[in-house]
Every structure is written in structure tokens, then in C-alpha cells.
Amino acid sequence: MKQDMIAVVDLGSTRNTDVARAVRALGVYSEIYNYDITADELAAIPNLRGIIANGGPNDIVDGVKIGLSDAIRKCGHPVYTFDYSDNGRINEMPADDADIAAALKSFVFDDCKAEPNWNMDNFIADQIELVRRQVGESKVLLALSGGVDSSVVAALLLKAIGKQLTCVHVNHGLLRKGEPEQVVRVFKDELNANLVYVDASERFLSKLEGVSDPEKKRKIIGAEFIRVFEEEARKLDGIEFLAQGTIYPDIVESGTKTAKMVKSHHNVGGLPEDLQFELVEPLKMLFKDEVRACGKALGLPDNMVYRQPFPGPGLGVRCLGAITRDRLEAVRESDAILREEFDNYGLTGKVWQFFTIVPDFKSVGVRDNARCFDWPVIIRAVNTVDAMTAEVPELPWEVLSKITRRILSEVPNVNRVCLDMSPKPTATIEWE
């Protein structure tokens, strides 16, 4: 690794990502480590320049108060503490990332003597070297959804290992309208990638039949994904690695040693224990905005880099409760209308993410002068930088009115359209 490093040690904080991002904002690379990391493990981190001990309310684990060991304090690297008693002195965590960065500036550059050499060119060079070292002459299978994360992984791996990479695009029946065709066109026809297309929609929908618990749905989808890849790998020679577009918010939300799970991600919490591949995850320590910057540095086009995030389980977590085919189509068609009208009004590049949800309940309405009992459609639109927090943007009433009219007239079995106004926290971006 070419970059200098500041290690953030999690001693029960809820704001580890804020600290890591603030250090990176200073131009210095930073990663987060669990409270039980040893002094020897820290000493083995390449180019480590300093340690930030990050205290907080989750500092009791298995009934024991956690803290920084004497061995780490004496390891020879400067130590800074937030919300943690250090010889009776406590540095309180500032309210926002810019105050945090200001508080750490002297520590990072004066005490740690770190160089501001954290940039995407260095990150890409490091990851290419690490991937080549990990993979050797073996072949890698990439789960290519066509979303931002997997697309950036594909571009990075093509630079690192070229024809050793095989991309597999699985249509699990939970993709947005027209998406499978678009993925094939862009990656196979335009980028000339080795692409295998698998239509497994019936297989996935059968596995999900009658399953209403969101965590069970995510785990079923994640496990089935792996099974499909294993089957495809057996058709190829030399596949030993599975590449994934895991990013840091996926890991945080799936739970750490001091933080409870928000929700599992199919590429973190849903992997089977008997996984037959070694994982390649070059983006796993990047935040969403950094993934986009990485994609730009790799030369990917804007319409790919700034494409909306899409969860691995796809529309399966937007068709709430047990998935039925009529509600799934209602989600797919209403989502297509929403995206079309946001494009028409120039909102696509201004709103970070927007989609529709169809819950598993009906409400009374009136259609053709008669009582009807149909589904509601919920519109969700948010702006965020790193997907850890999100705000709801103000949307023109004209746009919302037109979207509502179109959904009610064009999507079968829908009689109501609602707008979700909840920020993250307390809500999450997705509903499941």
C-alpha cells in the first residue's frame, strides 16, 4: 500500500465512519478496526502512522467494558482519543465531519507526520497489486448486476487481470424494467467483457414463495445467488475466486462487534458457510461517493458511475412481505414510470436515489364508479453522500402529480400513491 494510514479503533462509538471519512477528507487514508485488535496486528499494517481510539456508548461487550490496551498505547505510534478517557482527559467528538477534520488536522500531520497521499490513483494501483497477488493465474467470477458497485469492480478487475475475469449477470426476476437487456448491451457489446447471462427468475421466485420476513428473503436471495455462480463456475475451468461489489456501508449495516445489525446484505450476511470460492472485494473499505470517484478514475462513463444504487435482492425488498407476481409487476411498472418522469423533469442527476415500494396490504378505493380494494404505491426519494445518512429532497408538486396520475391509470391493481418523507435515521433508505 502506497498511502500512509491512520487506524480508527472502535471502542464502542456510533460514529466510526464519521472519523474515518474526516481523516480521508484531509487526504490521508484511514480504516476502522475492532476493539480487540492487538498491538502486533496494528504493527503489521503497512505505513501505519497513528491510531485514533474512538469511544462511545457501545463500550460494554459481553458485560465487560472495552478499552485500549497498554500494549497499543506503548506501540510507538501517536494515539488520539475521542469520547474516551485518556489519563483523565476526554476529547469530545465534534458535531460534524468538518469540525472532526479540524480537530484531527494537527494530530494527523504534526504528530503522525502523515503525508496527504490518499487519492484514487494510488488506491487503484494498490488494489490492482493486491488483486494480482491474491489471484495469481487463477480465474475470477464476478457477480455483475450492472449497478455502480459491481460495474466499478468489473472495470478495476479488467485492469488487474483482464481475461482471467468472467462476469455473470443473473436475472433473478427482481430487476427493474429493461435492466437485463441493458446490462447485456453495455457490458457484452460495448465493453467487450466475458459475460454469461443466466435467466433464473423462475428459480428465485419459487424459492421466495410465501416468505415474508425481510431477513429471510435477503438470505435466500444471497444463498441462491451463490448456488447459481457455483453452477456456472463448474462449467468453466480454473474458477477459484468470487468477486463482489461489497462496500463499507454494507459491512457496517450488517453489524460489527460493538454495533447491532441494521439489515443484512446479500454479500455480507447472506453467504453460505460452505462457500467454495475465496472472495475478492476490492471496494469493501470505500464509501459510496468514493466508489463513484474510483469509477471516474477508471474511465467509466458518467451514466454508469452515477447510476442509482440498487440493492442486491432487487425489487424483492421493495415488494414488501411475501412476494406475489402481481405486486412485483406493480413495483416494476410504477418504478419505470417514476424513473421516466424524473428523467423528463431533469431530476435524475439531482436526486441521489428514487424508487417505488408496494406493501403487502390493500386499501379501499373507487374505480369506474365502484368500490375497489387495491395496493398502494409508495414513492421513496433521498439525497445522501455516503448512504449512512439521508435526507428527503423537496420535489415539484407538478412532477408528483403527474407520476401519481400515471401510476393510477397505467399500473393494474393500484388505487393509492403515497410519498415517504422519512430521513435516515430514523428510517433506512430501503424499507426492508
Kindly give the interhelix angle for 148-161 and 120-135, rounded to the nearest 10 degrees.
70
Task: Note whether 157 and 142 are within 8 A (CB).
Answer: yes
* Cα 51 from Cα 74, distance rounded (Å): 11
**How many CB atoms are located within 10 Å of the residue 215 CB?**
13
Q: In this structure, is the dihedral angle defined by the CA atoms of residues 270, 274, 277 and 281, taken in order, positive or negative?
A: positive
The letter for the amino acid at 294 is C
Task: Note whether 286 and 247 are within 8 A (CB).
Answer: yes
Which residues have CB under 8 Å from 277's CB, separation 6+?
141, 229, 230, 233, 239, 240, 241, 242
Of 106, 108, 92, whose CA–CA distance to 15 is shortest? 92
* Cα 157 from Cα 243, distance rounded (Å): 9
- Which residues sit opposite 418 in a β-bridge? 378
What does the pLDDT read at residue 276?
A: 73
What does the pLDDT read at residue 275?
A: 65
Task: Note whether 207 and 270 are within 8 A (CB).
Answer: no
235's grid cell: 462449467
The letter for the amino acid at 214 is P
What does the pLDDT read at residue 47?
A: 93
Whole-angstrom CA distances from 273 to 13, 171, 188, 227, 241 are 29, 24, 32, 12, 15
What does the pLDDT read at residue 318?
A: 97
The DSSP H or E segment spanning 401 is helix 397-410
Place of cell 428527503: 392
Residues of the chain with pLDDT under 70: 1-2, 85-89, 252-275
* Cα 34 from Cα 50, distance rounded (Å): 16
Whole-angstrom CA distances from 176 to 66, 204, 304 are 45, 15, 15
What does the pLDDT read at residue 230?
A: 80
0.75 cut: is pTM over it?
no
Rg (CA), the chain: 23
Long-range contacts (CB closer than 8 Å, 24 or more residues apart) made by 343-348: 345/396, 345/398, 345/399, 347/395, 347/399
Whole-angstrom CA distances from 422 to 316, 391, 414, 429 are 21, 8, 22, 9
What does the pLDDT read at residue 73?
A: 87
Strands (E), 188-333: 195-199, 239-243, 278-280
